[in-house]
Structure 1
């Protein structure tokens, strides 16, 4: 019996050793991957000489995809199961089209592995896909970092790695993608600051919500030409820069659930194209900006869960396009009667509970209101202290909303997975907003697709990330 116990003990030690060695090996591979500075031209293609390829680009694609397949640890839907043989254009999730620079050459132009629940990491060899225009791998379990070699993807214009497990600082490699227009890295574990260079890039959409970013918003944000900006559910601090008003193409913006402070800048009223404006669940003070009625296209305002005071003017509610107006959990003391009239006529949805409005139900107590309603706020000197010089306490996100207005209900899911290949053109999209999709290309999401995580059923249940509050 003692002999059996001895061998059982030795067996456990052996299993432990093997497991530790395996983990150490994986750790070494990821460390090597992180430190590599290889360029695509440095790769030596080891391809079976018996395999025949239509052209050298497809041979490079074969090599890159096989290297990637080696870095996939789990593929429960067997999406990469048919990644065998030289016909890469038949691989699931891989789509080919004629190259832009040579209409006689077939090449890989799009990869879509959305909703695959695939575990693994990205490999530097994918930079060999020099004609790749779209890379969609959202809703998987890819981890690690974005390889530096991805800056060589000179034709990439859509990069969606959302709802995965990538880590580290903001992936600056995307700044080197010359034709990138749509950037979606939401629902990962990126942290630190956003680089100012991000807002100098000619992007149409910046979607970075539900990560761990913590810093002030760069002052040069006004240089960005984006039509969609989603910074929600992070820990950004300080004020909204006044340059925010210099973004004439901005249509949809969510800064919800951060640690932003100070007053809302009057420059917001310069955003003539604005459709959705959500700054809920922050620490903004002072009154609403004057002349909000200049924003003729706005369909949704959400100022809820802040420390705003003053009166809601008639001009705000009289915006013809406005459908959804939210000011709950502030310290407003008066709402113009025109707003109530529009609500009664069902022309406007308004949420105004937990304020300080007389003769209205569900308001704060007189004791709380007396301390805040008449508070004087100097917007020039409040709330913009650099984050390193003051202490901030993160507030917990509230439960997910039961109802969300149609104009933003989704930014909240990624684009529908691609069902067919790209057309034989790989030009960067036009500069007017997120490019309109062709029947063969994946539709770009709107803000209603982004702030909430994708609903992918029981196939993948990641840890529940923060969600938009107060709706």
Structure 2
């Protein structure tokens, strides 16, 4: 046992050293200069919540770097209690030159897009979702920090067009614009966001539009949600080139034609939602099917033909929704034996042998 004590004690010392370093990596209080700036912001914001919570020794929602600089402000309230903030964002917020993370979601902040944030030159994360912003997103929105990796403007009342300048954030990985009142267009320039991994455009009233071919350049995209976006035409065949896709949701639109066979070969795809469109024709799987599917929902369309035998190979499939279509023939018996399947919905009256196959 004595021979093993040395390495053990060294490992314990190293662990305690790392723990000590991590606990001191951030200061618990601001430097004198940052404290003065926070007090000015509190005065300029004149919001009752900040007046009641921020003081010279306590700064709820604020994180500091080791040198006492403000790096993170998170004043978000996603619970059922009343929102924290109800006054417009003051320009003095951007006097915090090291502020990289700003989350003001789930509040009642009013007014137009806060162009005062253009001066927050270090921002890499900006979440303004679930507020009361109105009007258009400015055509020069790209004056926000070029360091942005996350931009969330969802669940507000923005209207008009999404401006082409939204495609000028070279580092952006998440663009979330769903649940607004956009009634113009969204730009093909989104396809210039070569690092984008998450794109949400759902639940807006855009003018009828096809999915821009430029979106085919988003080769790092993992999560694409365009529910109720008023997209028309056929599902683009180039979507199968987005080989990083894990979730694809084009439901509740006016898409027509056949589901491209390449969709079924996207190697990482786990969730596919195409319900409530005008898709038709049979489901054709040309060659092998990607085996990662967990959810397939093609319900409420005009799809005909037989249910593909290949669905019976999807060992991870938990939800398969096929109802309100025009399928014929039997459900492959192998589907009923899938180990993870928990919810199978199909047009029972139009299929033969359904009960046997699903048992």
1:376 corresponds to: none
Distance 1:311 1:290 in 2: 10
1:358 corresponds to: 328
User: Is contact 2:307–2:327 with CA below 8 Å preserved after alignment?
Assistant: no
Distance 1:163 1:316 in 2: 44
1:217 corresponds to: 186
2:39 corresponds to: 62
TM-score (norm 2): 0.76
1:338-417 matched pairs, under 5 angstroms: 338-339=309-310, 341-342=312-313, 347-359=317-329, 362=347
Report deviation, 1:304.
0.6
Q: Does 1:117 align with 2:117?
A: no
User: Is contact 2:138–2:163 with CA below 8 Å preserved after alignment?
Assistant: no
Cα displacement string for residues 401-426 of structure 1 (whole angstroms, at most 9, x for unaligned residues): xxxxxxxxxxxxxxxxxxxxxxxxxx
Cα displacement string for residues 89-127 of structure 1 (whole angstroms, at most 9, x for unaligned residues): x211122214xxxxxx42111111111612222122212
In structure 2, stretches of 5+ residues that fail to align are 1-29, 331-345, 351-359
Deviates most, 274-283 or 215-224: 215-224
2:336 corresponds to: none
Cα displacement string for residues 167-220 of structure 1 (whole angstroms, at most 9, x for unaligned residues): 111155652112111001111111111111212312110001100112333122
Aligned with residue 161 of structure 1, among 128, 131, 156:
128
* Aligned CA-pair RMSD: 2.4
TM-score (norm 1): 0.59
Q: Does 1:263 align with 2:234?
A: yes
In structure 1, stretches of 5+ residues that fail to align are 1-52, 99-104, 366-471
User: Is contact 1:245–1:269 with CA below 8 Å preserved after alignment?
Assistant: no
Runs ≥4 in structure 1, deviation > 6 angstroms? none
User: Is contact 1:148–1:173 with CA below 8 Å preserved after alignment?
Assistant: no
Distance 1:340 1:91 in 2: 54
By relative contact order (CA 8 Å, sep 6+), the higher-ranking structure is 1
User: Is contact 2:283–2:308 with CA below 8 Å preserved after alignment?
Assistant: no
Distance 1:327 1:316 in 2: 20
1:305 corresponds to: 276
User: Is contact 1:208–1:231 with CA below 8 Å preserved after alignment?
Assistant: yes
User: Is contact 1:280–1:306 with CA below 8 Å preserved after alignment?
Assistant: yes
Report deviation, 1:342.
4.4
- Indicate the SS of the match to 1:110: strand
Distance 1:138 1:316 in 2: 46
Report deviation, 1:83.
1.7
Structure 1 residues 174 and 182 mapped into 2: Cα distance closer, same or farther (>3 Å)?
farther
2:335 corresponds to: none
- Indicate the SS of the match to 1:111: strand
Distance 1:207 1:316 in 2: 35
Distance 1:240 1:328 in 2: 21
- Indicate the SS of the match to 1:140: coil
Aligned with residue 227 of structure 1, among 197, 217, 228:
197
